[in-house]
Structure 1
Amino acid sequence: MPGPIELVVPNNGEFNVRNQTVDLGPRGTGDYLDFGTYLADQAVFWSRADRVLLLPAGYDPLWFADVHGALGLAPPTVVSPQPRSNRLLSDLLHDAAALSALRRALGGRPVRLLSWGATPELFLLAESIRSWGQRVEVDGVTRDNDWTSRYLDSKLGCLDLARDLGIATPRSITVIDRDELRGALAVTLRRHPRAIVKSPYGVGGQGSAVVDADDESTADFWDRMHDDPYLRAYPLIVQEFVAHAPGLGCPALDFRVDDDGVCDLALSAVTTAQGHLFQSVNVGVGSLPTEVADRIVPLGRRIGAAAGALGFRGWLCVDLIAGADGEIYLAEINARRSGAMHSIGLLSSVRWGRDVTLSSHDLSRVRGPGPVSYRDRVRPAFQRAWAAGRRVYPTAVRGLSSAEPMLALVAAGSTAAEAEAIVRDVLAEIDEPAPSTAGPAGRTPGTGG
């Protein structure tokens, strides 16, 4: 009997717009779906098992060959549906040819389904594959316990869990209308120099706003809050803004909850701008001081056990704050894979040793107007780095076709500082490229190549 095969499904975009209680509007929905497509290619790094990748149409085949060659991996089969709605699974389920291609690629084997997170379309895909006579194991929640994913992904559920487990959170007030918000913000700023207003939901720091205790900052918040659809929907949470311990970033834990408890736990530290907007993440043993890691790992295991007791299965990301006052605070829980997942996949699948730290940057600007060619402008810098033995990889290159070109990349080093330095060096080379060492000319789809 043939062994199992993994089906890797980066349904980032659909997960980010799954919440029906927040009206993102056509523009907001489109932006989140576009961002999900931009980062979907990072699923290439989630696993090195025998697998099939479901990727949005338009990925760059030269980039795809390069990263697999640099890692010494055989490229897997890729299935890409026709892009009708920019929703990866919806497009697949409405594309008979792509479904047929997927069925052939899976070859009748038992399937382990790896996804970003639980969505209705994911459950439909699982049932479709079962209708072909194949066994499907979902690496995450099932339709029966999907409520736990939605509950834990909400910051209100996070506050419940913190209260029940006795884990510190910033002092907070939950409000249900504008008058309550105005009063809660005023009282919070009377007793604390800064506040943060949060939607129960949000992506990458969107859905949160930091407010200082001065008239200008408060007036600016009231002007800006209507530009963020998450902050236009109640309830909202008003919290004291905790001053972060300098030089640490925001500690985070990614782990998987299964029937036996918490497993595959990984440490990371998130760098933010303005106290809440995601910038980059360092992953691995060198991402945090040992004394911080020793404090947060037990917290993660307690949270994972509590989530498991509710019926949750799958990946959780727990975001924490290391306060300047020495306290560790629970900030939020993400009931899904996180932006650290491609780094976690690299650490667990590539034999680099235990003392390696990765630095991942998803939104690195490339100088000049777009589109920028991966083949001619970006690839040579990585080829030189690989020839010098540097472990650095472009993880998403679709953004090079934008008017303001963007690149995602990750580097490995013996320390976080070394990994970050490699990222800076490669980006500097891309901005001031040396003479090209690229191979024969050829069109690079989706990057202007």
Structure 2
Amino acid sequence: MTTLCIANNRTEEMVGDLAGTPPAELRFAGCGAQRMLWWAEDGDVLVLPWGPDPEYLAYVTGLTGVRADSLAFVVPPPGAHGDQVLTADRLADPGFRAELRRALDGRAVDEVLAVSPNGAVAELADALGIGHAMPGRPFAAQGGNALVNSKAGFRALAAGAGVPIPPGRVAGSPAEVEAAIEDLLARGHSVMVKVEYQAGGLGNEILARDEKVEPVGAERVVPLPDRAAVAAYVAERWTWLTGGRGQRVVVERYFADSAPLYAEFVIGDTGAVLSGCGEMVMRPVVVGEITPPVTPDAGARDELVREAARLCEALRVIGYRGTVSADAVLTPEGEIYFHETNARLTGSSHLHHAYAGRLLRPEHRGSRHLLELAGLKVPSFAEAVAAIGAAGLAFDRERGTGVLFSSDFGPADGSVMYCAVAEGPEAARALEGALLALFAG
């Protein structure tokens, strides 16, 4: 049987209009799309923004045990936003679809697995005659992906399900946004404002009256000493706040010194199964994570998973099928507040599916910590792999510890994403330190 894997790692349903997205950000997303290789099994067909780097392909399949020559890769022509990400127009290209049909000829497709199971993927699956193999296709075909990735829609869904969310509201006009911000600031709280569609904290800003606040989960803190300053801020930032196309704005209380957490599930027809949970590393927006999380105690972790499961049940009932990461914060007072769901394969998914699920031996699962971060500068991917092997740092399946390279970010960035797998968080940090020392300078 064959899975059709579609690596549409950045879509309008996730982040809004792509027209103004910086090229480096699109390149980063396209490199992240190459992580779809971690899902591949023998005989699968993969649709990627560009063909896989041979060294990266050999590295991944060498670890997963997949026969690289059994895989088929299909790359559509560039679209309106170039060739860095798989946009809807690229997936609709007639020549691409003809080539994809040829690649699938003679293969029985039992699943269509997309990073973002959206309407473009549903339409492609129907055109290929394999719509039945896409979980949640009816929901996706009606624009459901935009619904479940909306930060504004999330607040309504969570409130209706009784899941705790930060005090605040969804606002649709400048006057409403101004009033919502001022209400929280006047009560002595800092504020987080959020663009309805964005990812990784890039659509967030923190607003503060007079307290000193370190930005975590947003790129900056904006001081607003009075109501007049609030009004000026809203007027100045209105186009950005609404994504340039009249989107709604989320205004909610910001909890300083909180731990950013997530719980990830896979939603099927009969329920949701926990993939894992973790803690995000912010500098000041997300740059990585550690799983399992290290800050929450057992009680807080149980609450995180329990409330996230309630969110997933609400999503299941309305028809979503696939991976969901429910993001939350644990405040210094021990309270958990959820602030969004990411209905797609996330930057965490390969850790739980491939690393813990495929690479770790059964006896090591549950007793390993995985610390993943981006931005390690290396001479080249091949040289980086050779270096960790020679230094004895490479992941070893028998021990269940070592360094893995998640993504090759290529010549545009000259870095790789790395994951330190160890028996505890301190050991993972020590392993990371050895890795960084190896490439220092």
| 2:4 counterpart of 1:7 | yes
Cα distance in 2 for residues equivalent to 1:388 and 1:297:
29
Kindly state the Cα deviation for residue 169 of structure 1 after the two structures are TM-superposed: 1.2
Q: Find the residue that maps to 2:128 and give its secondary structure.
A: helix
Which range moved further: 178-187 or 139-148? 139-148
Alpha-carbon spacing, 1:286–1:388, altered in 2? closer, same or farther (3 Å): same
1:243 pairs, out of 232, 251, 256, with 256
Kindly state the Cα deviation for residue 328 of structure 1 after the two structures are TM-superposed: 0.9
Instruction: Give the equivalent residue in structure 2 for 1:174.
Output: 170
After superposition, what is the alpha-carbon deviation per residue over 1:195-232, rounded to whole angstroms, capped at 9, x for unaligned?
11112221111211011213962369669846846555
| 2:26 counterpart of 1:28 | no
Q: Find the residue that maps to 2:133 and give its secondary structure.
A: strand
Instruction: Give the equivalent residue in structure 2 for 1:380.
Output: 386
Structure 2 counterpart of 1:162, which letter? A
CA-based RMSD of the aligned residues comes to 3.1
Instruction: Give the equivalent residue in structure 1 for 2:125.
Output: 126
2:201 pairs, out of 200, 205, 208, with 205
Mapping 1:38-57, distance limit 5 Å: 38-48=31-41, 50-57=43-50
| 2:97 counterpart of 1:88 | no
Instruction: Give the equivalent residue in structure 1 for 2:183.
Output: 187
Alpha-carbon spacing, 1:99–1:426, altered in 2? closer, same or farther (3 Å): farther
Which range moved further: 205-214 or 136-145? 136-145
Kindly state the Cα deviation for residue 77 of structure 1 after the two structures are TM-superposed: 1.1
Which range moved further: 109-118 or 288-297? 288-297
Structure 1 counterpart of 2:118, which letter? T
Kindly state the Cα deviation for residue 137 of structure 1 after the two structures are TM-superposed: 1.1
Cα distance in 2 for residues equivalent to 1:175 and 1:98:
41
Structure 1 counterpart of 2:112, which letter? L
Alpha-carbon spacing, 1:226–1:159, altered in 2? closer, same or farther (3 Å): closer
After superposition, what is the alpha-carbon deviation per residue over 1:32-76, rounded to whole angstroms, capped at 9, x for unaligned?
543321211111113546523222224310121123224444325
Q: Find the residue that maps to 1:336 and give its secondary structure.
A: coil
Alpha-carbon spacing, 1:125–1:135, altered in 2? closer, same or farther (3 Å): closer
Cα distance in 2 for residues equivalent to 1:145 and 1:209:
33
After superposition, what is the alpha-carbon deviation per residue over 1:136-190, rounded to whole angstroms, capped at 9, x for unaligned?
4114443566444322211222211222222221110332233333333223112
Instruction: Give the equivalent residue in structure 1 for 2:73.
Output: 79
Cα distance in 2 for residues equivalent to 1:72 and 1:128:
32
- Contact 1:10–1:116 (CA<8 Å) still a contact in 2? yes
| 2:414 counterpart of 1:405 | yes
Structure 1 counterpart of 2:199, which letter? V
Q: Find the residue that maps to 2:20 and give its secondary structure.
A: helix
Alpha-carbon spacing, 1:122–1:279, altered in 2? closer, same or farther (3 Å): same
Cα distance in 2 for residues equivalent to 1:415 and 1:88:
37
Cα distance in 2 for residues equivalent to 1:119 and 1:29:
23
| 2:305 counterpart of 1:297 | yes
**What is the aligned length?**
409
Q: Find the residue that maps to 2:346 and give its secondary structure.
A: coil
Structure 2 counterpart of 1:250, which letter? P
Structure 2 counterpart of 1:366, which letter? K
Q: Find the residue that maps to 1:260 and give its secondary structure.
A: coil
Structure 1 counterpart of 2:324, which letter? L
- Contact 1:321–1:328 (CA<8 Å) still a contact in 2? yes
Instruction: Give the equivalent residue in structure 1 for 2:223.
Output: 217
Cα distance in 1 for residues equivalent to 2:58 and 2:118:
30
Cα distance in 2 for residues equivalent to 1:217 and 1:42:
39
Runs of 5+ unmatched residues, structure 2? 212-221
Instruction: Give the equivalent residue in structure 1 for 2:368.
Output: 356
Cα distance in 2 for residues equivalent to 1:153 and 1:392:
32
Query: Aligned residues: percent identity?
Result: 20
- Contact 1:268–1:283 (CA<8 Å) still a contact in 2? yes
Mapping 1:217-366, distance limit 5 Å: 217-218=223-224, 225=237, 228=240, 230=242, 232=244, 233-245=246-258, 249-274=259-284, 277-284=285-292, 289-346=297-354, 347-352=356-361, 353-354=364-365, 355-361=367-373, 363-366=374-377
Q: TM-score, normalised by structure 1?
A: 0.80
Kindly state the Cα deviation for residue 103 of structure 1 after the two structures are TM-superposed: 3.2
Structure 1 counterpart of 2:107, which letter? G
Alpha-carbon spacing, 1:262–1:156, altered in 2? closer, same or farther (3 Å): same
